[in-house]
Structure 1
Amino acid sequence: MFQTYTASTRPSDGPPRLAALRNELDARGLGGFIVPRSDAHQGEYVSDHDARLGWLTGFTGSAGFCIVLPDIAGVFVDGRYRLQVRDQIAIPDFTPVDWPEIQPADWLREHAPEGAVIGFDPWLHTPDEIDRIEKGLAGSGLTLRAVESNPLDAVWPEQPAPAAGAVREHPLSLAGKSAADKRAELAAGLKRDGVAASVVTLADSLAWLMNWRGSDIIRNPVVQGFAILHDDARLDLFIDPAKVSQIPEEDGVARRAVSDFPEALRALNGATRFDPATAPVAVKTALADGVAGADPCLMAKAMKNPAELDGMRAAHRRDGAAMVEFLSWFDANALAGLTEIDMARKLEECRAATGDLLDLSFDSISSTGPNAAINHYRVTEETNRRLEPGDLFLIDSGGQYPDGTTDITRTLPVGVVEAERRDAYTRVLQGMIALSRARFPRGVAGGHLDALARYPLWLAGQDFDHGTGHGVGAALSVHEGPARISRVSTLPLQPGMILSNEPGYYRAGGWGIRIENLVIVREAAPMGDNRKMLDFETITLCPIDKRLIVAEMLTGDETAWLDAYHAWVEAELSPLVSPEARTWLEQACAPLRSS
């Protein structure tokens, strides 16, 4: 169940693997090849079978890709991974590329041989992705070509078998709606839109639609498979039968082998919807009458029903109690020469002690000193750092429980911390509070709200290179689309959506700060001229460390929010923790000015 700490691929493994891939490309007459992070389901996390980018390059981040050319191999990563990638890949065999600032088409125009044919696996890329590259290459003489078989797989000895994890039923008491009702509601929408069928390829959409939870992907209880939903609510389900051997057959659902999926797509009559942002290119190619449109499960899954919201609240109470046990232990042991791995293991033990932990929701980001400046740092035995006096310790972690998924970040002092770091911590906290207190009209998107969390940092000439918030699934993926709080998001927020609120600040080579709670979008209480508004309900229950706060920097409203939050945390968690942790909790939740 728990996190491992040994790097699976070392930088030195990359060069010989790159050489083998180049030989294979040359034998196939290809002038290059795109190696994505994704699998056929476009999930953020992939099984060992699909970890092609990590196997080739050593880079283990959750987003990015590599373009292999005869004389250069660019590893494209966004701002979250600029530091991490340099630690994990062999330079100069691989070259880090700042993406999305540098787009793949522009990079190919500069580096690809004249007239080169660049291959890609049509099951691992979306139509939107390939269309953007092809438009960028127009007039260059460079072309993209879908390959029938993946050349990287041909040079990967002992590639793990495809994931085949068992599926379990997600009870109606937690799902809040039967699978048959979900299919009927979505099918009615297809009929209204004049669409005969819709293809479902996202693993979390399939899990949500069927009221199943799976074990194909570590940390994410999704179900890998494909489905075709018809406008009469029939569902053709393409899945490994071994996964669902213990799940009763359901009326209206025809189970078929995954190998039948391409032919079933070709045989469809009538307009069939596919999602160009999430479906594989191979799906679009197979459809005789494909109609671009969003996965019908996306918005329904994002807007949680009352049963799902209650389950998430219950999971966060349980997880909050585990966090308090950990934090009280941390204060007693932080200066005892312990390491990042020690901290991660202890927190895992605290969560496991609840008796309800199924898995972590992602590998814990247990980081101190310069490691904390790496947004998605993953500790290994090779990078493991001891906590030192004066350091900041950042722990970003979460759990998968039967009723919900959690994700929380706290930044903690190791002894006495210098003023510059406390100033930055306070600005991060101010941004988190500003977003927590936000009221906004319907129609407002995450992109509109993102600046609230950054403004205190902007005033000091600072910022952070990741989104402020991502969607979170209900006992599903810890990162869930389509809702997010990011300057590039245009999707209006809707009641029932659950998002993270996690501003941060990072000093490369020095230290990092992040504070994260999860929030639910809800109808706001009437006030003023009674205009209909939305606001956020915070569901994360855990003290925010006050020792790093410069109290004089907070306004009265900010202090009042913090004190009210801590009073609520203490009232909810005090009955759930040990006597020793309860004593710690009382002090941690005392009003700021009295601390």
Structure 2
Amino acid sequence: MKTTNEKIAQLRAAMQAAGANACLIPSSDPHSSEYLPDHWKARAYFSGFTGSMGTLVVTDTASALWADGRYFIQAERQLAGSEIQLQKIAVEGTPTVTEYLTDALGEGQVLALDGMVTPTATVLELEKALAKKGAKVLSVDLVSPIWEDRPPVPSTPAWLVDTETAGVSAEEKLGRLRKKLAEAGAAAMVVSRLDSVAWLLNLRAADLDCTPFALAYCFVTTTNATLFIDQSRMPEEAIAALRAQGVGVESYDRLLGTLTGYHHDRVILVDGSTNWAIYSAVCQNPNFTVKMGEDPIQAMKGVKNAAEIKNLMNCHVKDGVAMVRFQIWLEQQMAAGATITEVDVDRKLMELRAEQPGNLGVSFDTIAAYGANAAMMHYHATPDNCTKLEKRGFLLVDSGGQYADGTTDITRTYALGELTENERTYYTYVLKSHIDIAKLQFLSGCTGGNLDVMARAAVWQHGIDYRCGTGHGVGFIGGVHEGPQSLRVTNTVPFQPGMTITDEPGIYEEGEVGIRIENELLCVERVKNQYGQFLGFESMTRCPIDLTPVRPELLDADEKAWLNAFHAETYRDLAPLLTEEEAAWLAEKTKPLA
């Protein structure tokens, strides 16, 4: 097996043969997915860094990888021994990818990138910056010819979510999309994001690990809609059902030819996440007038309908049953002195979720991190690299499930035994931050950026911060990270009733401890008066929060009241689905905090 440096050298040789002086490899597939099929994990293959986010740049003389705060520790470890220099995103003194390439390239030089996997917004930014230096961008696939034993393109069985579960038919959603396009002054769009295609057509598959999406595009005009997908994995009844709703079906690889040969005059909306190859095909056709804009489906699907909310509530109860049984198992194993590793935790959670009705697997790779490992926000244990649990300190478990009626994401931090006073204090700070968002009432119009600041107050006042957002949207039988809403300082999307969000503040001290507490929340209407409409949140998650580490004197009366009410709801909804012994255990875990 080649080393990272040997792979970089091979890439440089391909660059030289193509007349390029630099190469950009993003973490992306043709659909700008967050979690990638193995076939498109080129950045991981060439760099050795396996985090879900990162960008690799290789020039004639140097190479660098950009990662955000979730992955600093992991990236440093995985890049060790290679020539690749880690660039820490948002850290003072770190250049952006564009700044780095603008500095590296000069007159007549060329940046190579694969237009099929690079978003249009990225290429437009690079072209503009490099033109000032006399450099240019070349779209070319340098990866495929030199990636040995590249995994195949996935093609799993595709299926349709019934309208009763989804709440709205594909035909109705297409009508809503066409109205949004008209409002934007457009008459056509290539829906390229997999979460958008999935929502629009109620289409699901398992082409991405942990995420039930099908590799597909949908070309929508005022009069037609065409799904581009590998038809061999679609049942005839599914194809017939789509055609009955006005959706034609063509082969996945025919999209670009359809766009270049399209002969009707259309203003076509192009989202910045659309890949450069699609953008180029549209620009080459004089019948299209390109209008850049945001994918309107993202905002539409961000607000869940009544059927989706009902189903999500149900799947969170099922997920809570699995989580309760996991904690009971964990306590029993620790009390018996059994040898338990982080990998055992991962396996047990998968097993318990699989027992729940309608489970489709996990919604992301479980993060089971003991002790200092939890300081790495996206740590993932493997059989060859995992830690044994001991009767002291914390175990952080961030996990989630995919179900036929929804998607879940939950984090609990468990005390395994003796704790330091510092650990108990940190835990209570995180709990305060979590509760402060969960019980917050705020005016309609407040954005994720507004609320993120409020969440951090409980840790900021102690000179502590966390290098990530406080929360993210979650899809419906979809991606565990979906927007457009998020609890992040930079987010400008106002919250609306029906939006879901995770509430997951944390404290991460390298080499010491990692703590996170996460529930999923539903945005709902509260009081309306002369000041306007107030909104708030209801917790959808049903799982007890470990009270063992809490320093009650640090919680105020309102925080205690919220915690006790949450635990009362958790017991009410889970107890009927548990055995008598399990219910008695839960009653003890959800007793009011004095």
Q: TM-score, normalised by structure 2?
A: 0.94
Q: Match for residue 249 of structure 2? A: 255
Q: Match for residue 101 of structure 2? A: 108
Q: Match for residue 484 of structure 1? A: 486
Q: Match for residue 285 of structure 2? A: none
Quick one: which amino acid aligns to residue 476 of structure 1? G
Match among 207, 218, 231 for residue 209 of structure 2: 218
Kept in 1: contact 2:523–2:538 (CA 8 A):
yes
1:255 Cα deviation (Å)? 1.2
Output the CA distance in 1 between the equivalents of 2:266 and 2:90: 34
Match among 101, 104, 117 for residue 124 of structure 1: 117
Within 5 Å, which residues of 2 pair with 1:171-186?
171-186=162-177
Matched, 1:392 2:394: yes
Question: Which string of whole-angstrom CA distances, capped at 9 and with x for unpartnered residues, describes residues 296-316 of structure 1?
Answer: 311111111000011100000
Q: Match for residue 49 of structure 1? A: 39
Matched, 1:521 2:486: no
Within 5 Å, which residues of 2 pair with 1:50-449?
50-101=40-91, 102-112=95-105, 115-147=108-140, 150-232=141-223, 234-246=224-236, 247-249=238-240, 250-251=243-244, 252-268=246-262, 269-287=264-282, 288-334=288-334, 336-449=338-451
Q: Match for residue 5 of structure 2? A: 15
CA RMSD, 1 decimal? 1.7
Quick one: which amino acid aligns to residue 492 of structure 1? P
Quick one: which amino acid aligns to residue 404 of structure 2? P
Within 5 Å, which residues of 2 pair with 1:538-557?
538-557=539-558
Kept in 2: contact 1:196–1:270 (CA 8 A):
no
Aligned residues: 579
Kept in 1: contact 2:374–2:515 (CA 8 A):
yes
Match among 26, 30, 39 for residue 40 of structure 1: 30
Q: Match for residue 28 of structure 1? A: 18
Quick one: which amino acid aligns to residue 145 of structure 1? L
Q: TM-score, normalised by structure 1?
A: 0.94
Question: Which string of whole-angstrom CA distances, capped at 9 and with x for unpartnered residues, describes residues 293-343 of structure 1?
Answer: 221311111111000011100000000011011111212223533110111
Q: What stretches of structure 1 of length at least 5 have no aligned partner? A: 1-9
Kept in 2: contact 1:15–1:90 (CA 8 A):
no
Q: Match for residue 470 of structure 1? A: 472
My pick for the range that moved more, 278-287 or 135-144, is 135-144
Kept in 1: contact 2:363–2:479 (CA 8 A):
yes
Question: Which string of whole-angstrom CA distances, capped at 9 and with x for unpartnered residues, describes residues 73-98 of structure 1?
Answer: 11110111001112223433221111
Change in 2 beyond 3 A, CA 1:165/1:273: same
Output the CA distance in 2 between the equivalents of 1:485 and 1:275: 26
Kept in 2: contact 1:31–1:113 (CA 8 A):
no
Output the CA distance in 2 between the equivalents of 1:115 and 1:458: 49
Q: Return the structure number with greater relative CO, CA threshold 8 A, min gap 6.
A: 1
My pick for the range that moved more, 468-477 or 236-245, is 236-245
SS at match of 1:580: helix
Change in 2 beyond 3 A, CA 1:468/1:273: farther
Q: Match for residue 7 of structure 1? A: none
Question: Which string of whole-angstrom CA distances, capped at 9 and with x for unpartnered residues, describes residues 102-132 of structure 1?
Answer: 2012222444577531111112122222233
Kept in 1: contact 2:204–2:213 (CA 8 A):
yes
Quick one: which amino acid aligns to residue 178 of structure 1? S
Kept in 2: contact 1:324–1:577 (CA 8 A):
no
Output the CA distance in 2 between the equivalents of 1:380 and 1:218: 17
Aligned residues with identical type, % of pairs:
35
Kept in 2: contact 1:124–1:280 (CA 8 A):
yes
Output the CA distance in 2 between the equivalents of 1:477 and 1:156: 28
Q: What stretches of structure 2 of length at least 5 have no aligned partner? A: 283-287
Q: Match for residue 6 of structure 1? A: none
Kept in 1: contact 2:270–2:290 (CA 8 A):
no
Quick one: which amino acid aligns to residue 591 of structure 2? A
Quick one: which amino acid aligns to residue 318 of structure 1? K
Output the CA distance in 1 between the equivalents of 2:365 and 2:331: 23
Quick one: which amino acid aligns to residue 67 of structure 1? V
Kept in 2: contact 1:322–1:351 (CA 8 A):
yes
SS at match of 1:151: coil
Matched, 1:570 2:571: yes
Kept in 2: contact 1:325–1:578 (CA 8 A):
no
Output the CA distance in 1 between the equivalents of 2:326 and 2:197: 35
Question: Which string of whole-angstrom CA distances, capped at 9 and with x for unpartnered residues, describes residues 441-481 of structure 1?
Answer: 22111000001211111011000001111110011111112
Kept in 2: contact 1:198–1:296 (CA 8 A):
no
Quick one: which amino acid aligns to residue 276 of structure 1? D
Output the CA distance in 1 between the equivalents of 2:193 and 2:266: 20
Output the CA distance in 1 between the equivalents of 2:247 and 2:530: 50
Change in 2 beyond 3 A, CA 1:271/1:248: closer
Kept in 2: contact 1:425–1:548 (CA 8 A):
yes
Output the CA distance in 2 between the equivalents of 1:582 and 1:68: 57
Kept in 1: contact 2:428–2:550 (CA 8 A):
yes
Kept in 2: contact 1:312–1:475 (CA 8 A):
no
